[in-house]
Amino acid sequence: MTEPSGTWHYGLVARWWDEFNAPEAQEVAFYAAAIRRFGEPALDAGCGTGRLLLPLLADGLDVDGVDISSDMIALARERATAAGRSPDLFVQPLHELDLPRRYRTIYVCGVFGLGGDRDDDREAMRRLHDHLEPGGTLVLWQELPWEGHDESGWARWLPGHRADIPRAWRASGDRRRTANGDEIELITRVVEFDPYRQRHVLEMRARLWQEDDLVREETGRLTENLYFAQELLLLLDVSGFSDVHVEAAYQDRPAAPDDGTLVFIARA
């Protein structure tokens, strides 16, 4: 099911994220070090089902979570309760962020630009700034538009290379077994690509299988605004951030021209 949020992170897709998207050790170490360096409390903005939030809580850090998906927040709360923890978790889109406290550190991992338009993104950046204490730090992880694409994928930015959009559904997709023995299958296709607006729309078909019987199928859409590095730097600037520097993600070095995944670190 698609809720009117521009994202597909509900129902079976939320369950998939909960079951199969464990964090890598370097990710947890990076954000734990950032929080210890820049200070607590911290906010996981776009926390999903708690992929990063829960191990950081287990590390003794004071971290709240917020996400647009009520389904993902419910799963995060369920996991936190099972671990004997009770973090403050909120269901809000980032462009409507309105939380009861301010933070020394806010991190945004892979969700900026999802679900809305560029006006929403500008408002989201402003609200992230306003939810930081004076001198607080934003840590923004972002893939650039070419990351993860081969030359044929990157070519769709050029005229004459989008004739296959919308793409047809594949017959089958990535199918995995869950902890209770069910299987979830995901099939994704591109349905819109607009180089002028720097935006694409993807469609996801999620299927639930039980003993080779298809028992449920859900379809959702994800809109994503695509950002290059210089546009993000301008957006940080007009939102009131300063002292911005950019790193290659999780590599402890300044960003270089061939880096497709970056971390922007900016002070409020």
Over residues 140-174, the pLDDT tens digits come to 999 999 988 778 788 899 999 999 999 999 999 99
pLDDT one-digit tens code per residue, 103-122:
999 999 999 999 999 999 99
pLDDT one-digit tens code per residue, 20-59:
999 999 999 999 999 999 999 999 999 999 999 999 999 9
Pairing relation of β-strands 42-45 and 63-67? parallel
Q: Which residue has the higher pLDDT, 58 or 4?
A: 58
Which of the four pLDDT bands, split at 50, 70 and 90, describes residue 5?
A: low
Average pLDDT over the chain reads 95
Q: Which CATH architecture has domain 11-146+228-267?
A: 3-Layer(aba) Sandwich (3.40)
